[in-house]
Structure 1
Amino acid sequence: MLAAVYHGRRDIRIQRRPDPPRPGAAEVQLAISLAGICGTDLDEYLTGPHLIPMNGRHPGSGRGGPLVLGHEMVGTVVDAGSESGWATGDRVVPGSGVWCGACRWCAAGRTNLCARYYTIGLHADGGLAQFVNVPGKICRSVDGLADEVAVLAQPLAVAMHAARGCDLRPGAVVAVIGAGGIGAPAIAAVAALGAVPLVVDVAAARLRAAERLGAATIDAARTDAVSAVREYTGGAGAEVVIEASGTPSGLAAAVGAVQRGGLIQLVGLHRDPAPLDLTRLVLDEIRLVTSKVHVCDRDLPEAIDLLRRRPELADVLLAPVIGLPELESGGLLPLAAEKTAGKVVVNPSAHP
């Protein structure tokens, strides 16, 4: 099969690899229809390895690099283990993470914090390939959804998890800083929960996409974002700020734009040291919370349900589909240059 294999920083190779073996009793083998790439993949490509274990084996998966990237995917079951719960021909979306089911965090329903948690495509071979084996328990049915819609389920589940963690009230103004791979789905998630998204970004194409999703927008390349958020909210600031850019400037804007007693939700990963105005957080009793991936049993079904109700979200959230040979030139490099306005999606079978 053809696969995108991570070998290190700026070293992703499109290679022929053996097809996966027969799946285990609790696994399924998927023929991948579409797979997405996100900021985490870009981070590993540009400055990694950060999460991919290149000098050892991950304690949860037992795997180390080089490995196949890809944790956002939709596919068809072509082989199913006897205990997987699936049958050949089923169309499914896997969640990105695998949990043990036995630790204290799993017992509390916080499977995304499992003591032995690992991620498909970062700690084990992923979906930027023609075939992949995954545990049946992380899969959910997407029968009736087009591939171009279903491939959004995992990133939308991440956004749903983040938005739910904000304790949103109907009508609350939520400033979303960064309308990229997670920020854009967060707009849809915020709106689905009855709040009002206000999007801050520097890219005109992403701002236009945000407006198509029903958000008010602020062009931070042309105006001071904090002042604009406060003007929009009558001087008070946003009740909630979702920081999805992963940049120091985005974090500073989040602290400046949130109102007294408000909440900042960190979703974007911050690799660079960033100053944080802790004095303001304390004096104005601002809550700072974080969000990691999603809880498969709750967030993934809700994301799929939202896509069933609003399949037109794919028209706004997706960039044109590319093939595996174009992964770097048509996907990662444009993402790095902020020249894409939607989720970059790969068809692993679209190659010469």
Structure 2
Amino acid sequence: MLAAVYHGRRDVRIQEWPDPPAPGAKELQLEIERASICGTDVEEFVSGPHLIPIDAPHPASGHVGPLVLGHEMVGRVVAVGSEVTGFTIGDVVVPGSGVSCGTCQWCRAGRTNLCASYFTLGLHADGGLAERVNVPARISRSVGACPVDVAIMAQPLAVALHAVRGTGAEPGASVAVIGLGGIGSLAVAAFTARGIDTIAVDISPGRLETAGRSGASLLIDASREDAVAAIRRATGGIGADIVLETAGTPKSLETAMKAVSRGGHIRLVGLHRDPSPLNLTRLVLDEIQLSTSKVHICDQDLPEALAMLHDHPQIAATSIGAVIDLADVVPDGLVRMADGKATGKIVVKF
């Protein structure tokens, strides 16, 4: 089969790759219909490997060496493991990206994203940028009435929903989203679907335009104006009740710290590769809550994402910037995103 295989920094090849074996007892084998490219894939391409186990086996998945990318996918079931129930050949499903053990203390508490043996398809084991892949049935959900071109947004939307849920935001709260990549723009859409107005901040006019179509009530181009001052003006001088930070840069964290109100809540989603200064004195004296959000909890977030996409299919139409073929994943996907030329999610059609 053909697959997009990661070999190292700036080295992703569209090549023949062995077909997956017959699915394990608790697995499904999917024939991929749609996949999409995530910012994490781009980071691995540009400056990795950070997460991909090229040189040493991953402690949970056991994988080592070149790896098929892709943790956002929709596929049709073509084979079912012997112990799987609830799925039949021909079903169209979305798998969650993270594989958890189901037995550790975090899994038993329902926090499967913190599993002691957690690993991610497409980063720690072969993923969905290929014609076929095996996935655990336990993390897969039927797309129901969602068309595949809508359902492809379910996994990234689940990540956004997990972050949004953790803010505790309700209608009437002032919310700022800093960073409008794939997750940031979907967070704007998720807040909008819950009746919550958002202030959207980025340095890309294209991303700001997407956030506007996703329902943001105010767009701030941080390359042209002082984002902190603009947020404070929009909130009567007091700052935002909630700031969702998805960019993962020292500057975005600094903006979040200065733009949040007293007693407010900063929720971090972006991965910070470099150390960032943090004004702990202000956190304490102003009782600012700081929390983090990691991927999604499959049982909670994936069904909600599919339901939201069913009710609001325009979320997918607004978020998708281009649809490409597998053969074009490197020039029209990874490189385009790395160069900042993509204004929406890039979907791969099989």
Task: Measure, in 1, the Cα distance between the counterparts of 2:111 and 2:194.
Answer: 21
CA distances 1:320-347 after superposition (whole Å, capped 9, x unpaired) = 1111221121111221222111111112
Secondary structure of the structure 1 residue equivalent to 2:180: coil
Secondary structure of the structure 2 residue equivalent to 1:255: helix
- The match for 2:121 is 120
CA distances 1:265-292 after superposition (whole Å, capped 9, x unpaired) = 1101111222222222222111111000
Deviates most, 193-202 or 128-137? 193-202
TM-score, scaled to structure 2: 0.97
Q: How far apart are residue 315 of structure 1 and its match?
A: 1.5
Q: How far apart are residue 19 of structure 1 and its match?
A: 1.1
Secondary structure of the structure 2 residue equivalent to 1:331: helix
Q: Residue 13 in 1 paired to residue 13 in 2?
A: yes
Partner AA of 1:233 in structure 2: T
Task: Measure, in 2, the Cα distance between the counterparts of 1:282 and 1:176.
Answer: 22
Task: Measure, in 1, the Cα distance between the counterparts of 2:281 and 2:10.
Answer: 39
Secondary structure of the structure 1 residue equivalent to 2:182: coil
Partner AA of 1:92 in structure 2: V
- The match for 2:264 is 262
Q: How far apart are residue 52 of structure 1 and its match?
A: 1.0
TM-score, scaled to structure 1: 0.97
Task: Measure, in 1, the Cα distance between the counterparts of 2:303 and 2:144.
Answer: 13
Partner AA of 2:13 in structure 1: R
Residue-pair matches, total: 348
Task: Measure, in 2, the Cα distance between the counterparts of 1:201 and 1:141.
Answer: 34
Task: Measure, in 2, the Cα distance between the counterparts of 1:245 and 1:160.
Answer: 16
Structure 2: runs of 5+ lacking an equivalent? none
Q: Residue 132 in 1 paired to residue 142 in 2?
A: no
Q: Which of residues 249, 268, 271 in structure 2 aligns to 1:247?
A: 249
- The match for 1:188 is 189
Deviates most, 142-151 or 156-165? 142-151
Identical residues among aligned pairs (%): 60
Q: How far apart are residue 195 of structure 1 and its match?
A: 2.1
Q: How far apart are residue 56 of structure 1 and its match?
A: 1.6
Q: How far apart are residue 20 of structure 1 and its match?
A: 0.7
- The match for 1:315 is 317
CA RMSD of aligned residues (A): 1.0
Q: Residue 59 in 1 paired to residue 59 in 2?
A: yes
Structure 1: runs of 5+ lacking an equivalent? none
Q: Residue 299 in 1 paired to residue 292 in 2?
A: no
Task: Measure, in 1, the Cα distance between the counterparts of 2:50 and 2:84.
Answer: 31
CA distances 1:10-53 after superposition (whole Å, capped 9, x unpaired) = 11111101211110111011010111111111111111111111
Partner AA of 1:282 in structure 2: V
